[in-house]
């Protein structure tokens, strides 16, 4: 792997050189300029991007967006086409936003009434990828290729309501209108297995609604030894590659750790701006999977894969607010003996009140609900505790501690980061607006009297549809769109005859 070039720094750190010129007025004639989609900072970032491409010799750029499932999709454009793409974006089929995780469309794309609830999706017509130059990165694992993250617009310049990156920015703008900003930190767990056979066979081939067979893998560590250094030593080539790659990508990496389960690892990130960390999670997951594959491993952010049921993976989201006017941390209590400020307490109460609905975003897969097991360091009910890792919400900090925060331990690592964080804002802001008061903290998180977390994705989606705060914040159209996709995914799961059913009943009934 090549050494890091100074011009690969993010533009916020003057990457590409302080003299990188902004785009000239003559270069602004395109879709992005006509619809006023970039700020002056983005035009300047585009100029720096061109300089980096020239100095490093970038030949291809991947223009990507994050779909409803948190999966990156996009197009790879050659150097000759990059300038036009930076002026006018790129088109992709709008039907990409109407599919479940198997690639099956769940709306009537080729009917006059698609059932989506908004125009612009009939006939699988195009939407436009609008690149954000501030997200430009040079990919360390491939030669002369860079990557850029995009937002979504309709061909008339109108925002696509299902752009999840924009959904988060909308909620952050609402928070800002109330005088606050949001800081988040991430603990992201995942499994890394050794590929037993890297060749694809016909059984692995997928079709919409029918994913192919999973790859055959073997464990990489023995497990049951949390933070065991010798086990981590055995995986040092992977650790080294992850460190170098994530650092080259300028991600706020804090640690790479060995978790309790076999083949289980964790990456933690320094706390930062919520929108920036959401972007970082997207890039981090892509990098982890790609680095692992390059070394003969398969990394998965699936919460509870077969063969590793003893230790599911989660995504613990640390969150706090600060006052925009002063920068002061908003969750820090003033009185001794209290854990949170009044703002923090109301925000916490909102997280608890809306936990069933938020689960549709924090835990958006069928598999993730199998993680909610008692005495497992994952929550099984809606409760909070003071520095208690069995509770759904763990409160950390106190008087005089500017790092006072709330940690939501219910999320799964495959969640769409924009929707996960947006769900926390919607819940917390409703608690603040209504002045909600949380119950007493629990000392017994797996026995305390508290509502259970949803037992399934179907239950979570039903709670989302019934939640007035989410319908108001996201809009009926977005809730209908997301619920329809997730219901289709869950219904397909219910129709499938599982290995468990075959073993349980076939031989005796």
Interval 24-46 mean pLDDT: 85
Q: Taking Cα atoms as reference points, which of 107, 93, 140 lies closest to residue 242? A: 140
- Determine the pLDDT at residue 375: 87
Residue 175's Cα: distance from chain center in Å? 20
Does the pLDDT value for residue 68 go beyond 90? Answer: yes
Largest CA distance in the chain: 77
Beta strand segments in 68-198, E? 72-78, 90-93, 126-131, 137-138, 145-153, 180-195
Neighbours of 125 (CB within 10 A): 15
Neighbours of 123 (CB within 10 A): 13
Helices 79-88, 40-56: crossing angle, 10 deg rounding: 180
Domain 171-505 has CATH 3.40.50.1820: no
Where do the structural domains in the chain lie, given as residue ranges? 6-162, 171-505
Does the pLDDT value for residue 23 go beyond 60? Answer: no
Give the position of tokens 């607006």. 433
- Determine the pLDDT at residue 217: 72
Predicted TM-score (pTM) of the model is: 0.91
End-to-end CA distance of the chain: 58
| Beta pairing class for 145-153 and 137-138 | antiparallel
Q: How far apart are CA 20 and CA 39, in angstroms?
A: 16
- Determine the pLDDT at residue 210: 66
6-162 shares its CATH topology with 171-505: no
Interval 229-243 mean pLDDT: 88
Domain 6-162 has CATH 3.10.20.70: yes
Q: How far apart are CA 506 and CA 509, in angstroms?
A: 6
- Determine the pLDDT at residue 377: 83
Q: How far is CA 474 from CA 169, 239, 477, 490, 497, in A?
A: 12, 39, 8, 22, 35
Does the pLDDT value for residue 305 go beyond 80? Answer: yes
Residues pairing with 91 in the sheet: 128
Q: How far is CA 232 from CA 156, 221, 237, 270, in A?
A: 52, 8, 10, 21
- Determine the pLDDT at residue 261: 79
- Determine the pLDDT at residue 28: 60
- Determine the pLDDT at residue 20: 37
């Amino acid at each position: 792997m090549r050494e890091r070039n100074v011009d690969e720094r993010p533009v916020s750190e003057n990457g590409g050189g302080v003299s990188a010129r902004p785009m000239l007025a003559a270069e602004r004639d395109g879709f992005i300029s006509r619809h006023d989609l970039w700020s002056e900072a983005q035009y300047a970032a585009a100029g720096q991007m061109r300089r980096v491409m020239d100095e490093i010799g970038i030949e291809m750029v991947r223009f990507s967006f994050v779909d409803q499932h948190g999966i990156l999709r996009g197009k790879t454009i050659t150097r000759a086409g990059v300038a036009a793409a930076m002026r006018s974006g790129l088109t992709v089929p709008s039907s990409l936003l109407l599919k479940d995780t198997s690639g099956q469309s769940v709306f009537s794309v080729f009917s006059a009434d698609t059932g989506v609830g908004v125009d612009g999706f009939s006939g699988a017509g195009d939407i436009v990828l609008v690149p954000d130059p501030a997200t430009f990165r040079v990919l360390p694992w491939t030669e002369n290729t860079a990557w850029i993250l995009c937002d979504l617009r309709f061909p008339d310049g109108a925002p696509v309501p299902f752009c999840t990156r924009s959904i988060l920015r909308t909620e952050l703008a609402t928070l800002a209108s109330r005088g606050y900003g949001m800081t988040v930190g991430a603990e992201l767990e995942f499994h890394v297995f050794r590929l037993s056979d890297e060749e694809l066979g016909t059984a692995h081939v997928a079709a919409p609604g029918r994913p192919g067979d999973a790859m055959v893998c073997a464990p990489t560590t023995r497990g049951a030894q949390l933070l065991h250094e010798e086990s981590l030593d055995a995986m040092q080539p992977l650790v080294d590659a992850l460190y170098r790659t994530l650092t080259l990508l300028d991600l706020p990496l804090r640690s790479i750790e060995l978790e309790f389960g076999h083949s289980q690892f964790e990456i933690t990130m320094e706390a930062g701006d919520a929108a920036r960390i959401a972007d970082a999670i997207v890039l981090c997951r892509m990098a982890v999977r790609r680095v692992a594959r390059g070394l003969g491993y398969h990394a998965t952010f699936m919460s509870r894969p077969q063969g590793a049921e003893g230790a599911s993976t989660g995504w613990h989201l640390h969150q706090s607010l600060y006052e925009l006017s002063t920068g002061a941390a908003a969750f820090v209590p003033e009185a001794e003996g209290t854990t949170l400020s009044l703002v923090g307490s109301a925000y916490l109460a909102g997280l608890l009140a809306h936990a069933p609905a938020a689960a549709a975003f924090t835990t958006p897969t069928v598999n993730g609900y199998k993680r909610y097991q008692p005495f497992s360091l994952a929550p099984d009910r809606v409760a909070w505790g003071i520095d208690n890792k069995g509770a759904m919400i763990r409160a950390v900090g106190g008087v005089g501690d500017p790092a006072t925060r709330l940690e939501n331990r219910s999320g799964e690592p495959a969640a769409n980061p924009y929707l996960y964080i947006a769900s926390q804002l919607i819940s917390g802001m409703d608690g603040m607006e209504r002045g909600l008061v949380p119950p007493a903290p629990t000392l017994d998180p797996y026995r305390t009297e508290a509502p259970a977390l949803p037992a399934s994705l179907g239950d979570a989606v039903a709670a989302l549809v019934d939640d007035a705060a989410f319908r108001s914040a996201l809009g009926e159209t977005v809730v209908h769109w997301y619920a329809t996709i997730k219901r289709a995914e869950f219904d397909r799961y219910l129709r499938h005859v599982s290995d468990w059913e075959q073993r349980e009943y076939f031989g005796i009934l």
